[in-house]
Amino acid sequence: MAIDQGLEKTALSTIDRYRMLEGARTVVAAVSGGPDSVALLMFLHGLAPRVRFDLHVFHLDHMLRGQESARDARFVEELALELGLPVRSLAVDVRAGLAGRSPQDAAREIRLDRLLGFADEVSADRIATGHTADDQVETFLMRAIQGAGLSGLGGIPPALAGSILILAFAAVHAAEVRRGAQVQNAAVLLKVTLIVVFVAIAACKIGLPAAQPDSPFPVAAFGVSLIWISFSYSGWNAAVYVGSEVRDPEKTIPRSLLLGTALVTLLYLALNTVFVFAAPVAELAGKLDVGRIAARAIGGAFFEEAVAGLIALALVSSVSSLVMAGPRVYAQMAADGFLPGGLAVTSGPPRMAIALQAGLALLFLWSATFDALLTWIGFTLSISTAATVAALIVLRKREGKTLAVPGYPVVPWLFLAGVLAMTAFTVVQRPMESLVGFATIAAGFAAWRLQQRKATSRKPQA
């Protein structure tokens, strides 16, 4: 049975836009036997090998249409077997439990209950339904295909959820510096506490991993992964961005840089140790949601959902920290004459800069995939940090030993070598994102040169 190419293209576009199958491992397709659900099943069957998820089939016979219902059940079972898919087919006499409800309402409630029960049984993280526009329950389920797990069918597309977060934290940090800092401190404290608790529980449940067969080490892919990993440490320099708004910055900022980097390193290594030792490497390879896979191996479905909540909290606090720190850079650049003066502030939070960053974040959120954004931004940031360290080396050579650079010359040159290797691997493995990154830097350089020329032209002639 072939799927219309136009329909398939539209479905793929929608799935990609809302990231419906991002990180999916197990999908349950609810199939009634009608043309909508059968088309959905055939589409998912063709998509499963490419996206790499397991597909299960679920059918419920409401016993409302006699032999016709039974024929639909046999058709779904035979189709699933023909496709080589596991199938669960149930029969429930809906009329026996109406309790004052209409048969249609009772059928929907029973179907939802059995469907969620089966999905939980096979540890599914997605439910797919083919439905008509007037079926409210199945429409809700379809909207929830990328929701917050089976127990929290929020039905909010990830891009919309991200937009709400960005706008909410933009409002918080634009309102008042102190209030924004309090929100950020509370989120980070809760996050760190939960991470420590999770690692402690996991440490009591996992043991040394079994011997793994030797496999080739993909050096180039590892280099690209380092770009993503760098995001875990991207906060080491963020304290500098708010230096003008803290007490005793000469002592506070170096202390926060050292302690923050050390804490992030310990938490990162502890979490990844749990992830690697909790589940077989084969189950983790190529997957985005390794945290959930590891948590399921440690404590089952409940622990998996708890860790999913922890990850969500970590992302929420990251959004808050970036909304707080990033606009300070724009404001200071504006004060230095490199950006429009309207972004600069003399006191209070940089509200115009916060609004600018929120707008840019929303644009990127709705125009690119998570994977592409992560690679592009990480690639661009890596080059920017390398340029900063290169400038430090130049400055050290000019100033001599009067400029103290810890670990000089080994530490800065080692850092540059690492960034150069990551950049080269990314260019080879992800040329499009690398090209966009280079274009971003080139555009920034061109804008800086233009600004310099304008500044020179405004100087009075002697």
pLDDT digits (tens, 9 = 90+) for 254-271: 888 888 888 888 988 898
> What does the pLDDT look like over 229-238, one tens digit per residue?
776 666 666 7
- The total number of structural domains in the chain stands at 3
Residue 14 in this model has a pLDDT that exceeds 80: no
Which of 156, 173, 198 is the last residue in one of the domains? 156
Q: What is the percent of the chain where pLDDT is above 70?
A: 83
Amino acid 96: pLDDT: 77
Asked if residue 222 belongs to a domain, the reply is: no
**79/119 same-domain check:** yes
User: What whole-number distance in Å separates Cα of residue 413 and Cα of residue 416?
Assistant: 5
The mean pLDDT value for 306-326 works out to: 80
Residue 145 in this model has a pLDDT that exceeds 60: no
Of 79, 283, 309, nearest to 190 (Cα)? 309
User: What whole-number distance in Å separates Cα of residue 380 and Cα of residue 302?
Assistant: 38
**27/139 same-domain check:** yes
Residues β-bridged to residue 27 = 55, 126
Amino acid 151: pLDDT: 39
User: What whole-number distance in Å separates Cα of residue 386 and Cα of residue 420?
Assistant: 8
How big, in percent rounded to 5, are the helix, strand and coil portions of the chain? 75, 5, 20
Residue 59 in this model has a pLDDT that exceeds 90: yes
User: What whole-number distance in Å separates Cα of residue 354 and Cα of residue 85?
Assistant: 50
Q: For the CA atoms of 23, 188, 153, 57, what is the dihedral angle to 10 degrees?
A: 20
User: What whole-number distance in Å separates Cα of residue 132 and Cα of residue 136?
Assistant: 9
**242/297 same-domain check:** yes
> Residue 33 — very low, low, confident or very high, per pLDDT cuts 50/70/90?
confident
Higher pLDDT, 55 or 247: 55
> Residue 414 — very low, low, confident or very high, per pLDDT cuts 50/70/90?
very high
Rank 5-19, 150-164, 373-387 by mean pLDDT and report only the highest. Answer: 373-387
- HSE on the CB side for 75, CA within 13 Å? 15
The mean pLDDT value for 181-201 works out to: 83
Which of 367, 395, 413 is the last residue in one of the domains? 367
Amino acid 194: pLDDT: 85
Read off the tokens for 277.
């030792």
Residue 195 in this model has a pLDDT that exceeds 50: yes
Which of 113, 129, 156 is the last residue in one of the domains? 156
Range of lowest pLDDT (5-9, 238-242, 370-374): 5-9
Range of lowest pLDDT (26-40, 58-72, 133-147, 424-438): 133-147
Amino acid 88: pLDDT: 92
Higher pLDDT, 94 or 163: 163
Of 140, 136, 149, 184, nearest to 326 (Cα)? 184
The mean pLDDT value for 342-359 works out to: 89
Higher pLDDT, 53 or 313: 53
Asked if residue 225 belongs to a domain, the reply is: no
Higher pLDDT, 116 or 57: 57
> Hey, CA dihedral for 301, 51, 309, 205, is it positive or negative?
positive
Range of lowest pLDDT (41-50, 56-65, 112-121, 299-308): 299-308
Structural domain containing residue 413: 369-462
Residue 12 in this model has a pLDDT that exceeds 60: yes
**109/64 same-domain check:** yes
> Residue 395 — very low, low, confident or very high, per pLDDT cuts 50/70/90?
very high
Amino acid 212: pLDDT: 57
Of 20, 50, 25, 46, nearest to 129 (Cα)? 20
CATH number for the domain that contains residue 179: 1.20.1740.10
Residue 26 in this model has a pLDDT that exceeds 70: yes
Residue 340 in this model has a pLDDT that exceeds 80: yes
**195/314 same-domain check:** yes
Residue 225 in this model has a pLDDT that exceeds 60: yes
**264/322 same-domain check:** yes
How much is the mean pLDDT over the chain?
79
Q: Which residues of 208-241 are buried (b: 16+ CB within 10 A; e: fewer)?
A: eeeeeeeeeeeeeeebbebbeebeeebbbebbbb
The mean pLDDT value for 105-127 works out to: 83
**106/32 same-domain check:** yes
Asked if residue 223 belongs to a domain, the reply is: no
Range of lowest pLDDT (9-18, 60-69, 211-220): 211-220
Do the Cβ atoms of 355 and 170 come closer than 8 Å?
Answer: yes
**Helix, strand, or coil (residue 99):** coil
Residue 86 in this model has a pLDDT that exceeds 90: yes
Residue 169 in this model has a pLDDT that exceeds 80: yes
Asked if residue 453 belongs to a domain, the reply is: yes
Do the Cβ atoms of 288 and 369 come closer than 8 Å?
Answer: no
Amino acid 77: pLDDT: 92
Higher pLDDT, 64 or 436: 436
Residue 443 in this model has a pLDDT that exceeds 70: yes
**327/211 same-domain check:** yes
Range of lowest pLDDT (89-93, 109-113, 301-305): 301-305
Cis peptide before 406 (omega within 30 of 0): no
**338/382 same-domain check:** no
Residues in contact with 143: Cβ distance below 8 Å, sequence separation at least 6, in sequence order:
155, 157
Q: Which CA distances in Å does 98 have to 18, 57, 90, 136, 398?
A: 37, 26, 18, 19, 86
Of 414, 417, 395, nearest to 404 (Cα)? 395
CATH number for the domain that contains residue 131: 3.40.50.620
Amino acid 391: pLDDT: 93
Residue 56 in this model has a pLDDT that exceeds 90: yes
Residues β-bridged to residue 59 = 89
